[in-house]
Amino acid sequence: MKKNFIILLIAIPSLVFAKTWQVKNGIQLQNAVKIAQKGDIIEVFAGKYLLKNLKIEKSLIIIGKDFPVFDAQFKGEILTVSANDVSISGIQFQNVGETSMIDWAAVKVLEAERVRVFNNKFYHCYFGVYLSSSNHCLVEKNRVIGIPKEEQTTGNGIHAWKCDSITIQNNYVEGHRDGIYFEFVTNSIIEHNYSTKNIRYGLHFMFSHKNTYQYNIFAKNGAGVAVMYTKGVKMKHNTFENNWGGSAFGILLKDISDSEIEHNVFNSNTVGVYMEGCSRLNFKENIFNQNGIGLRIQANCDENIIENNNFLANTFDVATNGNVVFNYLKENYWDKYEGYDLNHDGKGDVPYRPVSLFSTLIERMPQAMILLRSFTATLLDKIEKIIPSLTPENLKDENPRMKPNLIQPIKA
């Protein structure tokens, strides 16, 4: 036991010889940051600290006691981290300045690695946590709440640009332009977050490959979630709900390829999933429930597989804007299916075409929506099922399920 302890001391000398600085006002804090050595601990006691652009340029551990308040008084940003192995926890950040020229943030990390920002509170910050050209960082258990104004004058809650191998988990984000934003980010994880009431997107991906986001809830955002110009993404066990509006979606997928969308719930959205320019996506065991349109597939999508999903109480299960669609429906459950199962194998004997004639008419003439749920609309759909003419002939489920697929419950 003694030998192992000696080995531990040799392996992590910075922990053995680290000094702890205790500060109770802004001047003490700035002095401690200036004279502290690499690996030192700075304990910040409760109180209000008026700070602007405090630079962290060495490896430090900053710990707040009873959530001291770092207030920028709307004059700039608060902490700028440019060193590796920095840890920031237990702080309440507030009142970051707003500007269209500079992305001011409560905590901005620049070209650093292994920075940890956890268990903090962010109130009325232009950007909450901003990671730029930084790798192997962790943003965890933070509460990030903004006061939404206009899209142009509101920043993102958690923002990452040109990063690799970062983890964003167990955060609550509300009232920003985008709750969580990724651009040129790779090999990273977003999980167990709750992103709600943001002006634009609860989550926004762009040019960010080989990432995973799972067990998140995205609710009541202005336009839902957007994943764009990306490949190799895994989207699993998420909930997209109550994203309503003329341009709102549970999730918008644009120019996405070779990705997995599995075990998600799309509940009460204008459009559950909107797909444009997507190829080789695998939709499996998702639940589409009470959406205006469950799944909207534009004609420029191809080789996507939609299998073992449940479509329940959607106004329209599937919609498209073309007559030729090269995508595949396999063994989904459709609550509007009226077929039969004579051999009792659990699969319908008659193929199901989920694109209704009325949804096709609305695509061409939006004014026809006034006839929704009318006898005329019902009659047109019945005729189309007997003699298909306008709906895509090849977009059909050959073996629709007679009972809902067994899909494991979501635990976000």
What is the tens place of the pLDDT at every residue in 88-106? 999 999 999 988 788 999 9
The answer as to whether 374 is a domain residue is yes
The answer as to whether 19 is a domain residue is no
Q: What DSSP state is assigned to residue 113? A: B
Cβ count near 330 (within 10 Å) = 16
- pLDDT above 80: residue 14: no
CATH number assigned to the domain comprising residue 358 = 2.160.20
**Chain center to CA of 311:** 22
pTM: 0.88
Asked if residues 275 and 302 have their Cβ atoms less than 8 Å apart, the reply is: no
Geometric angle at alpha carbon 352, from 351 and 355, rounded to 5°: 145
Instruction: Please give the average per-residue pLDDT across 113-126, as a whole number.
Output: 97
In 3D, which of 216, 159, 170, 210 has the Cα closest to residue 188? 210
3-class DSSP state of 324: coil
The answer as to whether 117 is a domain residue is yes
d(CA 319, CA 366): 13
Asked if residues 145 and 115 have their Cβ atoms less than 8 Å apart, the reply is: no
In 3D, which of 139, 193, 187 has the Cα closest to residue 163? 187
The answer as to whether 393 is a domain residue is no
Structural domain count, the chain: 1
Lowest mean pLDDT among 4-18, 101-115, 193-207, 245-259: 4-18
Q: Which of 242-251, 299-308, 345-354, 380-389 has the highest mean pLDDT?
A: 299-308
Helices 375-386 and 357-364 cross at an angle (nearest 10°) of: 110
Amino acid at 379: L
Cα-based distances in Å from 400 to 149, 230, 274: 46, 31, 22
The answer as to whether 397 is a domain residue is no
Question: Residue 407: CA atoms inside 13 Å, Cβ hemisphere, count?
Answer: 24
d(CA 123, CA 75): 15
pLDDT at 384: 52
| Dihedral Cα 7, 12, 15, 17, nearest 10 deg | 80
For residue 369, what is the enclosing H or E element?
none
Cα-based distances in Å from 189 to 94, 168, 280, 336, 340: 27, 6, 22, 37, 43
The answer as to whether 303 is a domain residue is yes
Classify burial at 2, counting beta carbons within 10 Å of its beta carbon; exposed 0-12, middle 13-18, buried 19 or more.
Answer: exposed
- pLDDT above 80: residue 12: no
- pLDDT above 70: residue 6: no
d(CA 27, CA 94): 18
d(CA 223, CA 231): 22
Question: Residue 124: CA atoms inside 13 Å, Cβ hemisphere, count?
Answer: 11
The answer as to whether 196 is a domain residue is yes
Identify the band that residue 1 occupies on the pLDDT scale cut at 50, 70 and 90: very low
d(CA 65, CA 11): 29
pLDDT at 46: 96
Cβ count near 364 (within 10 Å) = 9
3-class DSSP state of 16: helix
Tokens read off for 400: 């629709």
Q: What DSSP state is assigned to residue 390? A: S
Domain around 324 = 48-386
Q: Please give the sequence-ordered ranges of beta strands (E in DSSP) within 302-351, or none if there are none.
A: 302-307, 310-312, 316-320, 326-330, 333-334
d(CA 234, CA 262): 8
Strand pairing partners for 5?
none
pLDDT at 2: 47
d(CA 218, CA 198): 10
d(CA 356, CA 363): 11
pLDDT at 147: 87
- pLDDT above 90: residue 148: no
The answer as to whether 32 is a domain residue is no
pLDDT at 290: 95
- pLDDT above 90: residue 325: no
Asked if residues 238 and 262 have their Cβ atoms less than 8 Å apart, the reply is: no
Asked if residues 27 and 49 have their Cβ atoms less than 8 Å apart, the reply is: no
Asked if residues 128 and 158 have their Cβ atoms less than 8 Å apart, the reply is: yes
What is the tens place of the pLDDT at every residue in 188-226? 999 999 999 999 999 999 999 999 999 999 999 999 999
Q: What DSSP state is assigned to residue 289? A: E
pLDDT at 42: 97
